[in-house]
Amino acid sequence: VQLVESGGSVVQTGRSLRLSCAASGFTFSIYGMHWVRQAPGKGLEWVAFISDDGTREFYSDSVKGRFTVSRDNSEDTMYLDMNDLSPEDTAVYYCSLSEPLYFDYWGQGTLLAVSS
């Protein structure tokens, strides 16, 4: 299993950005996927989940209405579209494949820095 995040950058407050998570080594289309973030020097914060077929999405209160998770099962890729970014969104963003009863895999993370 390999999860590779990309798209992290330095952006200004109020701008938008898309993160990607490229998956390989497993059947991507049959598993839900998560985004988790970690601000510098802070703890882990769960951000979003998308079901295997993309029909169900859940978000943390802190990003609801600004972030949208999506996936392309033909490309084995998950996305996180982030709008109206603020400095509080500065973090390393991880994608994760986590089945409570079985396995748990994480990518290496991609860094988003939002400047004011």
Burial (0-12, 13-18, 19+ Cβ within 10 Å), 11: middle
Of the candidate spans 9-17, 20-28, 65-73, 107-115, the one that interacts with another protein by CB under 8 A turns out to be 107-115
Pick 15 or 56: Cβ nearer another protein: 56
By the rule CB under 8 A, 106 interacts with another protein: yes
Size of the site for another protein (CB under 8 A): 21
**Contact present, 22 and 3 (Cβ < 8 Å):** yes
Of the candidate spans 10-18, 67-75, 79-87, 101-109, the one that interacts with another protein by CB under 8 A turns out to be 101-109
Pick 59 or 79: Cβ nearer another protein: 59
Distance CA 102, CA 116 (A): 41
Q: Is the dihedral of CA 25, 28, 31, 33 positive or negative?
A: positive
Selected from 43, 55, 74, 116, the binder of another protein by CB under 8 A is: 43
Q: Please name the residue that has the structure tokens 């951000």.
A: 47
